[in-house]
Amino acid sequence: MSESGPDRPRDPLTYPVHLRLDGRTVLVVGAGRTAVRRLERLMATGARIVVVAPDAVPEIHELAAAGLLELRLRDFQPADLHGVWMVHAASEDAAQNDQVLALSRATNGNGSSRPVLVCGDEGCSNSGDLLLPAAFDLGTATVSVGTGGADFRRARDIKTVLKRQLESVSDAELVVIGADQRCLDVAALERVCREAGEERRLRGTLAALRPVDEFFILNTCNRFEVYMIAGANPIVRELVVHGMRLHTIPPDRRYVHAGRDAFVHLSLVLAGAYANLFGETAIVQQVKEALERGRNAETTGPRLERYVTEALNIARRVRQAVMTGLESREAEDLCAARLTNSRPGLDAETVLVIGTGAVGRAVVARLGNRPRKILWAFFRKAPALEGFAAERIEVIGVDRVPEVLGSSDVVIVASGAKEPILRREHAPLLAGRRALVLDLSVPRGVDPGLAGTEGLELVHLQELVTCSRPSDVPGLVRLSEESARLESYRFMKEEAVCP
């Protein structure tokens, strides 16, 4: 990495290389603090190091006593260049450094036809062959920063910032923090979602936490979660818990998973094993949409993308291993079954669907040509009707819901709004009409107080699920967990977080 100022002509670029010094002789002229800094990296290269100076600081005496370098306590002599592959002019005396550079350049004192590679100090850097970058090691990688000799201090400052940031990233792992319908009942889960406020506010809170490198927010009718790439700092995780308002519920009613446990959790969520409807597939689209929102907000990156991609592959294998043969029971299937049982005259009725997310789209698709008319209410963006029974669908803004309630026989609410869409003041529009309201939302999209409205039947998703749950969900979940953990081993080993 090199740079030049915007207001001056750019000097010829330097050519970045990493030199192999193993077994080669490197001469360091000088044994003060400058030489110590040079030796910090030279010692790790396997080079044969010779230090020449009339006196030396204690650190260099200790290295010589340990046999790690040869120390010649005298003034530099031209003969010291014999057999040398590289020279570092690193004394605290600028005049001596100039002399070393001049002699190294003037003669091939190393006894071969090849000239000595010469590196000066910062004061005479332009006279040498090499410019030492500010560098640090990160695992097997070496990161170096150079300014072409223009500003050594700036190179060190950039190196310091990069090192701090890259070390935090290298220690980071997949973390999921959240709560779902396994931990909380509907009322508690919707309270947490409502208190957390708009996703934009939570995104701003998380973006301000510098150790959090990437993240996306997943908020569905079953769960409220944040997936992130972050270090093991417990303070950061606690700040995320507070940002999500999960500190308002007991610790045993929320979860924090990291590393392999977080990846297995994500795989099981995508497999539908932790859903209200065991094995549901709508969650796949919901996760993809959450990831897309993070991508648009520039809060996700390649690591989260890769985790989600691999978790989707594992989720498919879990479904094949555990869920093959199980009857598909998505939210839209439960709606269809309820309508079949309770609305025999649906072909002559009007159905109002509120919400255009994954569940709302699936419900409209499942209804097909059955109702006489479908009113489809959107919040921000009108849905495309390609692939739907468009001739029977009228798309309206959510602001028109009170206007059409009086003519709707069935209302299906599948919104992600923080507050109920249908409230008690809407009761007169629904009273005495034998209307059916199905609420598929968490937080609830229908005020429970509407249940007492004359002639109105109000059913929440939880009631539909209870009536259709497989008989051995706990056993199926355990099998799914075992399958996901086994499938995750290979990928997490590649990520170097699995023993």
Asked if pLDDT for residue 124 goes beyond 50, the answer is no
pLDDT in tens, 359-368: 899 999 989 8
Cβ neighbourhood burial of 283 (10 Å; 0-12, 13-18, 19+)? buried
Question: From CA 150, how far away is CA 2, in angstroms rounded?
Answer: 9
Mean pLDDT of 66-79: 93
Mean pLDDT of 386-415: 93
Asked if pLDDT for residue 49 goes beyond 90, the answer is yes
3-state secondary structure of 46: coil
pLDDT in tens, 85-116: 889 888 888 888 888 888 887 655 445 544 56
Q: Residue 54 — pLDDT band, cuts 50, 70, 90?
A: very high
More confident residue, 141 or 165: 141
Question: From CA 63, how far away is CA 71, in angstroms rounded?
Answer: 9
- Residue 344, CA atoms < 13 Å, CB-side half-sphere: 0
3-state secondary structure of 399: helix
What's the pLDDT at 497?
A: 45
Question: From CA 407, how far away is CA 373, in angstroms rounded?
Answer: 11
Asked if pLDDT for residue 258 goes beyond 60, the answer is yes
What's the pLDDT at 2?
A: 47
What's the pLDDT at 297?
A: 92
Q: Is the pTM of this model over 0.95?
A: no
**Of 3-7, 277-281, 391-395, 424-428, which range is least confident?**
3-7
**Of 17-31, 253-267, 318-332, which range is least confident?**
318-332
| DSSP per-residue codes, 197-221 | --HHHHHHHHHT-TTEEEEEEEE-S
**Of 64-68, 233-237, 311-315, 363-367, which range is least confident?**
233-237
What's the pLDDT at 410?
A: 95
What's the pLDDT at 469?
A: 56
What's the pLDDT at 380?
A: 87
| DSSP per-residue codes, 260-316 | HHHHHHHHHHHHTTTSSSTT-SHHHHHHHHHHHHHHHTT---HHHHHHHHHHHHHHH
Q: Residue 417 — pLDDT band, cuts 50, 70, 90?
A: confident
Average pLDDT of the chain to the nearest whole number = 84
| CB neighbour burial string for 200-211, b if at least 16 within 10 angstroms, e if fewer | eebbebbeebeb
What's the pLDDT at 429?
A: 92
pLDDT in tens, 196-242: 777 888 888 888 886 788 999 998 878 999 999 988 778 889 999 99
Asked if pLDDT for residue 454 goes beyond 80, the answer is yes
More confident residue, 493 or 272: 272
Residues 80, 30: contact at Cβ < 8 Å? no
Helices (H) and strands (E) in the chain, counts: 16, 17
Tokens of 336: 């269809």
Mean pLDDT of 332-351: 90
DSSP single-letter state for residue 151: -
What's the pLDDT at 27?
A: 94
Asked if pLDDT for residue 33 goes beyond 60, the answer is yes
Asked if pLDDT for residue 415 goes beyond 80, the answer is yes
What's the pLDDT at 167?
A: 62
pLDDT in tens, 346-357: 999 999 999 998
Mean pLDDT of 399-411: 94
The letter for the amino acid at 384 is A
| DSSP per-residue codes, 330-373 | -HHHHHHHHHHHH-TTGGGSEEEEE--SHHHHHHHHHHTT-SSE
What's the pLDDT at 442?
A: 75
